[in-house]
């Protein structure tokens, strides 16, 4: 049985280690960037290295020496770059594609193994749970079928990684726009949607949109001095 590495820096996927489906294969989980070294990987000799979510750059020596599979939540080549879920929602998309592609030295430009539909409904936390479940299906499928990735087709469109300052609630008379803004940031590790009011910061989550109203939980905090 081949060994495979899963490199993940966010906890929303790490529960996969306990799933029955994952127990069918031999995985080594890496969560620390200092463990993802060429020498360490040579000792493991993985068939694949999967990256459900990784916050750091992967050295070219690793991507050139091992078959590295990255997962990106846009229909590549549309949406290369950072904050894919938030950028898709901000642009009004109701669904996206989860793309499994071979990692190369370029930015999200590697050939594609598979693409699967992913709903963008609900909070970011709910989306990540669906995303995790979909990746848990795709990883064993790739191991068992050894697909040949196909080059991306079409004109690339790039997203910029969002900054914490962009979490401020936009000035808008659209309930739908404000709802989308709150829910797309409602997950662990993301700066909450906020409004500055005097010396306080009001942070919002748990948004609920009805026909003519929007409700959300609000937490008052002291604004941080710049």
- DSSP, collapsed to helix, strand or coil, labels residue 36 as coil
Q: What is the pLDDT of residue 16?
A: 59
Out of 140, 159, 178, a domain closes at: 159
Lookup: tokens for 139: 């990883």
Q: What is the pLDDT of residue 17?
A: 59
Rounded mean pLDDT, 148-166: 97
Whether pLDDT at 1 is above 70? no
Q: What is the pLDDT of residue 71?
A: 97
pLDDT, one tens digit per residue, over 204-218 is: 999 999 989 999 999
What sign for the dihedral angle of Cα 134, 136, 140, 143? Answer: positive
Q: Which residue has the tokens 């941080």?
A: 224
Contacts of 170 (CB under 8 A, 6+ apart): 177, 178, 181
Out of 113, 128, 159, a domain closes at: 159
Residues 141 and 178 in one domain: no
Q: Provide the CATH number for the domain around residue 72.
A: 3.40.50.170
How far is residue 194's CA from residue 197's CA, in Å, rounded to a whole number?
Answer: 10
Q: Can you give the residue range of the structural domain that contains 113?
A: 3-159
Q: Which residue has the tokens 């909450």?
A: 192
Residues 23 and 109 in one domain: yes
Of 3-12, 17-26, 27-36, 69-78, minimum mean pLDDT range: 17-26
How far is residue 45's CA from residue 2's CA, in Å, rounded to a whole number?
Answer: 9
- DSSP type of residue 221: E
Rounded mean pLDDT, 40-61: 93
Find, among 142, 87, 74, the residue nearest to 114 by Cα: 142
Residues 74 and 10 in one domain: yes
Residues 175 and 154 in one domain: no
Residues 124 and 216 in one domain: no
Out of 119, 137, 159, a domain closes at: 159
Q: Identify whether the C-beta of residue 75 lies closer than 8 Å to the C-beta of residue 88.
A: no
The structural domain count of the chain equals: 2
* DSSP per-residue string spanning 134-195: HHHHHHHHHHHH-PPPB---S--EEEPPP-GGGGBPP--S-HHHHHHHHHTT-STTSPPEEE
């Amino acid at each position: 049985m081949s060994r495979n590495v899963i490199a993940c820096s966010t906890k929303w996927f790490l529960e996969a280690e306990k799933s029955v489906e994952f127990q069918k294969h031999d995985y080594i989980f890496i969560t620390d960037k200092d463990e993802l070294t060429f020498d360490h990987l040579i000792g493991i000799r993985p068939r694949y290295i999967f990256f459900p979510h990784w916050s750091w750059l992967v050295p070219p020596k690793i991507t050139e020496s091992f078959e590295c599979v990255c997962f990106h939540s846009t229909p590549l080549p549309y949406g290369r770059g950072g904050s894919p879920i938030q950028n898709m929602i901000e642009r009004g998309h109701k669904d996206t594609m989860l793309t499994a592609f071979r990692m190369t030295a370029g930015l999200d430009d590697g050939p594609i193994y598979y693409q699967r539909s992913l709903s963008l409904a609900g909070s970011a936390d709910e989306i990540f749970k669906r995303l995790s479940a979909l990746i848990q299906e795709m990883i064993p499928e790739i191991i068992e079928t050894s697909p040949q990735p196909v080059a991306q087709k079409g004109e690339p469109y790039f997203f910029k990684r969002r900054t914490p300052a962009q979490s401020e609630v936009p000035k808008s008379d659209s309930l739908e726009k404000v709802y989308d803004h709150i829910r797309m940031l409602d997950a662990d590790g993301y700066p909450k949607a906020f409004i500055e009011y005097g010396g306080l910061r009001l942070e919002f989550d748990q948004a609920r949109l009805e026909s003519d109203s929007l409700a959300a939980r609000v937490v008052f905090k002291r604004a941080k001095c710049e």
